């Protein structure tokens, strides 16, 4: 029959004195207070593992763990033993999870997500996403363990962006935060996405349209470049007139080398790498863009060459210099 152990009293715990060697004051159930020769007092528990081997747990020093707390830790360990688990392994796993939680902050996971996704974005997009995280999100809850972040934590920060009137940024930041949480779930670092449905509670944005002109305004718009030629440089005036004829993007026009233009055939071939869809990181469109040049467009190129030397000249363009 096991020896009955009289539980310790608070007075016994407080009055325990150091001796020349460590001494133990038993409390029952394997729990005891070990008094070190230096005067330190440590809570420990002796137990047998499920395989029968003897082991012990450390619950901490007396100044950090009270008698009641030590007994609660002992009772939890005994429950694990009764269930066939090893409390030492359970404690080690708990400590490991605590370390992972401290390491896997939102900022740490967000930067990992950013590094993973960066090849799918244009450089400018990737830079902008990280800059907004650093400006709006990381100062708020970047250092919080990602598994502990709740929806109100994210919403409070997004609301602060909304109050500044930056509704589009608030919407994008919500989507980016949601992407980070989804990444964390797939990596086993979180179990839920607290930003998943937040876009439904954000202030709606007013939909608008780009500036446009009506049919009645078109004649005046077409006359404007000619009426204001004195206010524009020659290259600018020619470029504006060319835009009205070829309807390409501004960057595609102003960055065009003369080698892309075949004045003999009246054709301008823009390589796919210079096109917007061709610059996509994922599934770029590798189709060159063919622009048919009218006689008026060729005449403008001829005029451009006369002033800057920036476009080729051939017999055809010489023949149509007077055509505008």
Convert the pLDDT of each residue in 42-68 to its tens digit. Answer: 999 888 877 778 888 888 888 888 999
Instruction: Give the max Cα distance, the chain.
Output: 119
Number of H helices and E strands in the chain, helices first, is: 13, 7
Where do you find CATH 3.30.160.390 in the chain?
10-98
Every domain range in the chain assigned CATH 1.10.150.130: 106-201
CATH class of 106-201: mainly alpha
Rounded Cα gap, residues 305 and 256, in angstroms? 13
Rounded Cα–Cα distance for residues 201 and 323 (Å): 59
- Residue 2: exposure state from Cβ atoms within 10 A (0-12, 13-18, ≥19): exposed
Q: What is the pLDDT of residue 77?
A: 86
Q: What is the pTM for the complete model shown?
A: 0.49
Query: In this model, does residue 262 exceed pLDDT 50?
Result: yes
Predicted confidence at residue 186, as pLDDT, reads 93
Q: Which CATH class is domain 10-98?
A: alpha beta
Where would I find the H helices in the chain?
10-15, 67-82, 87-103, 106-117, 123-132, 138-141, 151-163, 167-186, 218-227, 234-246, 250-254, 295-308, 315-319
pLDDT band, very low/low/confident/very high, at 2 (cuts 50, 70, 90): low
Residue 82 or 92, more confident: 82
């Amino acid at each position: 029959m096991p020896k009955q152990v009289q539980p310790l009293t608070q007075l016994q715990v407080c009055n325990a004195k150091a001796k020349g060697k460590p001494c133990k004051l038993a409390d029952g159930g394997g729990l005891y207070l070990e008094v070190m020769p230096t005067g330190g007092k440590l809570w420990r528990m002796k137990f047998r593992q499920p395989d029968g081997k003897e082991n012990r747990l450390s619950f901490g020093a007396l100044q950090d763990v009270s008698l009641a707390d030590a007994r609660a830790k002992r009772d939890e360990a005994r429950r694990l033993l009764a269930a066939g688990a090893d409390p030492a392994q359970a404690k080690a796993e708990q400590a490991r999870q605590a370390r992972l939680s401290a390491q896997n902050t939102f900022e740490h996971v967000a930067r990992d997500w950013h590094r993973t996704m960066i090849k799918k974005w244009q450089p400018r997009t990737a830079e902008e996403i990280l800059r907004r995280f650093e400006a709006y999100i990381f100062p708020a809850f970047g250092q919080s363990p990602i598994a502990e972040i709740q929806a109100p934590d994210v919403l409070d920060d997004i609301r602060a962006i909304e109050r500044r009137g930056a509704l589009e940024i608030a919407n994008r930041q919500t989507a980016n935060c949601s992407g980070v949480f989804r990444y964390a779930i797939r990596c086993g670092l979180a179990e839920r996405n607290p930003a998943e449905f937040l876009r439904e509670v954000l202030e709606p944005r007013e939909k608008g349209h780009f500036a446009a002109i009506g049919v009645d305004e078109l004649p005046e718009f077409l006359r404007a470049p000619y009426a204001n030629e004195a206010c524009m440089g020659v290259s600018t005036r020619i470029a504006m007139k060319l835009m009205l004829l070829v309807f390409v993007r501004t960057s595609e026009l102003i960055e065009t080398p003369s080698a892309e233009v075949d004045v003999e055939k009246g054709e301008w071939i823009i390589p796919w790498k210079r096109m917007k869809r061709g610059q996509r990181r994922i599934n770029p469109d590798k189709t060159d863009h063919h622009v048919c040049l009218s006689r008026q467009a060729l005449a403008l190129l001829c005029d451009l060459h006369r002033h800057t030397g920036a476009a080729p000249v051939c017999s055809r363009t010489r023949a149509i210099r007077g055509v505008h």
